[in-house]
Amino acid sequence: MASMLSATPQTGHKIINFWVNFPDEHAMYDGLAIEVNRRPLQIVSHKEGVSAAAQLGPNEVATLRLAYKSHGLESWRYRLGDDASQAHDFVLIVKTNFKNIDFPLNTLSPNEKEETPNGWNLVWRYSSLISGFQLGVTMPEHLQPGPLAGQISTFAPVSLLLFFFILFIITTLRAIDLHPMNYFFLAAAFFAFHLLLAYLVDHISIHVAFLICSMVSVFLVTSYLRLVVGPRFALVEAGCAQFIYLVLFSYAFFLHGFTGLAVTIGCIVTLFVVMQMTAKIRWADQFRGPTI
């Protein structure tokens, strides 16, 4: 925002012109209002923003109010200037109507933070500030089904690798012989979850689609292994493993900000359990070919 001062010699009144540049020219600004000392000003639109002129009396102090409504995607920022800028007696108060807040990278955190029944009161207060950092708040994002399904599908090979790893350990301990073709069909049934989810989220709720796809994939795997090995192995060992490494692994992507941590903890727990189960196995004897 910028301003320019001019005076009228006859009355001693001053005319101040205010220029407001929009944060982004490709955005919507609804209910735009500019007031000086509670008096609304006539707004003139320009290419990069708007301007307004206010007439002040002798020694009159001007209090400027700028208000508008807009829509944001991820964060709201206040920029002091293009480079390192100086501000005196600066106070910025942000009131949110949501609890889940964060602060973008390379921004200054508020000096005061007070929780309210519906959100937060955030205050940035500086007597003399020189900084090139911005001030801002990251807002909670609405769940986007398409990108979420894409993230789940991207990490599908990791989920399948963990599932096959557990099946390999269990079949080794129980001397169950699974042919590579069996693993091929299991992989196809496993990936049926991701393929169906990618197309189903465009038509129904992401949570309902997730539930349907999980049930379809688990049914394919368990019904196949019931015929290949037996009901107990299919429902208990394979069914539980698929529930953990397909359903729970994929659901971790719903936990925004905690997905990586949840997957890491799951991998560490898996490693611990497998190490305890196989600690006494003599792997050299286990993989030694038959003697003639």
Nearest Cα neighbor of 173 from 290, 274, 266, 244 is 274
Name residue 103's amino acid: F
**pLDDT digit string (tens) for the chain, length 292 residues:** 544 444 444 456 778 888 887 777 777 888 888 888 888 888 888 777 888 888 888 778 888 888 888 776 677 787 777 777 778 888 888 888 888 888 877 788 888 888 888 888 899 888 887 877 888 888 776 667 778 888 888 889 999 999 999 999 999 888 888 999 999 999 999 999 999 999 998 888 888 999 999 999 999 999 999 999 999 999 999 999 999 999 999 999 888 778 889 889 999 999 999 999 888 888 787 777 655 5
Provide the token pair at 69: 């409504």
The set of residues, in sequence order, having a beta carbon less than 8 Å from that of 49 and lying 6+ positions away, is: 19, 20, 21, 22
Neighbours of 273 (CB within 10 A): 12
Sign of the C-alpha dihedral computed for residues 260, 266, 267 and 272 taken in this order: positive
- Residue 8's pLDDT is 47
Q: Considering just the CA atoms, what is the radius of gyration of the chain in Å? A: 31
Q: Assess contact for 109 and 58: CB atoms under 8 A.
A: no
- Residue 139's pLDDT is 77
- Helix then strand then coil, in percent of the chain rounded to 5, is 40, 25, 30
For 257, the 3-state DSSP assignment is coil
Q: Which residues in 80-119 belong to E strands, given as ranges?
A: 85-95, 107-108, 112-115
Q: Assess contact for 49 and 22: CB atoms under 8 A.
A: yes
CA distance 160 to 217: 12
CA distance 206 to 280: 44
CA distance 122 to 129: 18
Neighbours of 255 (CB within 10 A): 12
- Residue 272's pLDDT is 93
Q: Using a cut of 0.75, tell me whether the model's pTM lies above it.
A: no
User: Tens of pLDDT along 73-88?
Assistant: 677 787 777 777 778 8
For 47, the 3-state DSSP assignment is coil
